[in-house]
A = this chain, B = another copy of it.
Amino acid sequence: MIPADFNLKIAEIHDDRNRGASELARCCLAILAQAARELPAASGEEWRERLSGLSLELAETRPSMTPLRNLLRCWRNGLAADAAAPLALARQAAAARAEELSERSRRAVIDCARHVAALLGAERTIMTHSFSSTVLASCRLLKEKGLRMIVTESRPLEEGRRLAEQLSVWQVPTVYITEAQMALFVGQADAVLVGADSVLADGSALNKAGTALLALAARERGIPFYVACESFKWRDASDPPPGLEEMDPSELKVPAWPGVTVRNIYFDVTPARLIGAWIDETGVRRNAAQ
């Protein structure tokens, strides 16, 4: 693999609209494992510098997605630790570390889903917004336990379709609605469960735009609102606030009206006080302030 191929891969991560933050972070780790093995370098120092640069570039492709930042920083720190090793060994160690981190993240999602399933229990109607691999993993555990789902389409690219399709395959009775109908349907749910792309140090959750509206509607009806994600999505208090990524306005598929600015911000922030509990691979943390 030559450096130009990595630029292509960086662009793919940047443009990906299908995968969530955890999945994309694991894609980045797979790219880094391959780069660790194959990136040409005259010396160990050059190799480390180039890998370090690549991992920084990858982390910056998706500023709203904290797992890219956290998992890749964790991996990068290991590069320095291996500085004394011969290059061939360092390549193996760095690739193995990327694969281990990826596996840790994958297991974290599964463990998180287990805690979610225990929290929600059987015979429940759960409402969600957009697509989250953690919510999907939770549905998988509850699909034979009387789960019913209410899912939103999630404009503009309608990731909700992907979830509805899988729920259909699993024969989970599902209601599919526009975001506009969220206030009409939230009262029919026993709980709202969403994933997150980032969780800020104060517990506020950055997730697909529309999540904050659903949290407001849930509070209004007294429906508990839960955020489930692996702990790699948590942001340190010292981290700068994540950017809210804005995508191409053409995704809204409207004409170019003069004087009309089409906006397409992908994420919003749900304040911690609207969140009833956070669930990660270590368990359930209830919001003491509620």
Taking Cβ atoms with an 8 Å cutoff, the residues of A that contact B are 153-156, 158, 161, 164-165, 167-168, 171-185, 208-210, 212-213, 216-217, 220, 244, 252, 254-255, 257-265, 268
The answer on a CB contact under 8 Å between A259 and B178 is no
In angstroms, Cα B182 to Cα A182, docked, is: 13
What DSSP secondary structure best describes chain A's contact surface?
mixed
The answer on a CB contact under 8 Å between A153 and B252 is yes
The answer on a CB contact under 8 Å between A180 and B179 is yes
The answer on a CB contact under 8 Å between B165 and A257 is yes
The answer on a CB contact under 8 Å between B167 and A180 is no
Apart from the given pairs A181-B209, A216-B217, 5 other A-B contacts in the complex at a CB distance below 8 Å: A155-B178, A164-B254, A183-B209, A184-B265, A212-B217
The answer on a CB contact under 8 Å between B212 and A260 is no
Chain B residues near A263: list those with CB within 8 A. 175-177, 181, 185
In angstroms, Cα B158 to Cα A53, docked, is: 44
Chain B residues near A178: list those with CB within 8 A. 155-156, 179, 209-210, 252, 264
The answer on a CB contact under 8 Å between A179 and B176 is no
The complex is assembled from copies of this chain, and their number is 2
Cβ contact of A161, chosen from B210, B212, B216, B254, cutoff 8 A? B254
Cβ contact of A179, chosen from B172, B179, B244, B262, cutoff 8 A? B179
The answer on a CB contact under 8 Å between A260 and B181 is no
Contact A262 to B183, CB < 8 A, known contacts A161-B254, A216-B220, A257-B165: no
The answer on a CB contact under 8 Å between B168 and A216 is no
Cβ contact of A261, chosen from B175, B258, B259, B265, cutoff 8 A? B175
Chain B residues near A175: list those with CB within 8 A. 260-263
Chain B residues near A181: list those with CB within 8 A. 209-210, 263-265, 268
In angstroms, Cα B244 to Cα A252, docked, is: 27
26 contacts between A and B (CB under 8 A): A153-B155, A154-B180, A155-B155, A156-B178, A161-B254, A164-B257, A165-B255, A165-B257, A167-B257, A174-B257, A174-B259, A174-B260, A175-B263, A176-B252, A176-B257, A176-B263, A179-B210, A181-B209, A181-B210, A181-B265, A183-B209, A183-B216, A184-B244, A212-B217, A213-B213, A216-B217
